Homo-oligomer: A and B are copies of this chain.
Amino acid sequence: MTTQVSKQIQLASRPKGWPSEENFETVSVDLPDLSEGEVRVQNLYISVDPYMRGRMSAAKSYVAPFEVGETMTGGAVGKVVESRSDDLSEGALVLHQFGWRDVAQAPAGQFNEVPEIPGVAPSLYLGMLGLTGLTAYVGLTRVAKMQEDDVVFVSGAAGAVGSAVGQIAQLLGASKVIGSAGSKEKTDVLVQKYGYDVALNYKDAPIREQLPKAAPNGIDVYFDNVGGDHLEAALDVLNRYGRAALCGAISQYNNTEPDPGPDNMANFVKQSLGFKGFIVSDYMEYAGEFQERMSAWIREGKIRYDETVVDGLDNATDAFISMMQGANTGKMVVRIQD
């Protein structure tokens, strides 16, 4: 068996503020022969996600920081190209966490086989059918306990999670779904493609001025992807017993100084509000229910999704940085091989 080389991206240094190319280094690693029980996987697509920025910092968070000088990890979908395990055959499509590299090698138990769906790119397992869609689904149904006829507001609505939240909220019977994004192009997509009833461009005017006009009867659920001024605006208009699912604070990930907080925290008591931060890995028990409902919605043509596909591992860090800056519509993935 010949030695195989894996090209991998490592964290070279911790970013201060926005990450840049110099924080990363690409290395070539010689893979040893497979041990008994191991498989070798050629990645097809790898995922770049906002939460990875958190792992690049040393500070404590919900997942351990990446180590400087080590290969980063993240969601990936690939094909088994060599197997010494009875559990996975050559050719199997697998979902796993050995992203940021072209070839992965590990015990078979660390890869999950998933079915190939005709007409659907396997990258969907990194997005709408994977953790992205599940995040949207459990955030709405379990964290914010959305009810039929609720008015729902979603920040970062054109992002991977946000574009799923809007559509799922409509499918679950929301009376009105309002989204915000940072360009005319994105707000157009929100309304024309993702079923948002109203889309606000937060660059047109402060979101705190726009939201009360879009929600004259207030909102019942806030799905927060950005934090900061959006969270403050939501606090202004949340109705009594309103709930927020806090999923990310992308506006703050790259701050070197703490952001000022919302000046209307007193509304928590006045309106009996409930806010809950969450991470999808605490809600994996709902993955089965989700995949069943989401597969059906996709089959019935009820779910639209965008992918921003960047080609080549060499462009992965650039893809990650531009995703953090909002260049993507929908899920951002890097294609390693078709």
Contact = CB atoms under 8 A, between A and B. Distances in A.
Given A261-B232, A264-B258, A265-B259, A270 B54 contact: yes
Contact of A246 (B252, B269, B278): B269
Interface string A203-230: 0000000000000000000000001000
Given A260-B260, A263-B259, A279 B274 contact: no
A240 interface: yes
A290 interface: no
Contacts of A278: 269, 272
Given A249-B266, A252-B266, A266-B227, A62 B271 contact: yes
A277 interface: yes
A74 interface: no
Given A269-B62, A272-B277, A274-B276, A262 B261 contact: yes
Secondary structure call for the A interface: loop
Contact of A272 (B227, B259, B267, B282): B282
A279 B272 contact: yes
A269 B50 CA distance: 13
A273 interface: yes
Nearest to A281: B272
Nearest to A268: B277
A268 B246 contact: yes
Nearest to A51: B269
A60 B274 contact: no
A270 B277 contact: yes
Interface in A270-305: 270-279, 282
B268 A62 contact: no
Given A260-B261, A269-B278, A273-B277, 6 more contacts: A62-B270, A247-B269, A252-B265, A261-B265, A272-B277, A273-B275
6 contacts: A62-B270, A249-B266, A249-B268, A258-B264, A260-B261, A274-B274
What are the 10 tightest A-B residue pairs by CB atom distance, in nearest-first order?
A261-B261, A268-B277, A258-B263, A261-B262, A269-B277, A249-B266, A274-B276, A246-B268, A275-B275, A61-B270
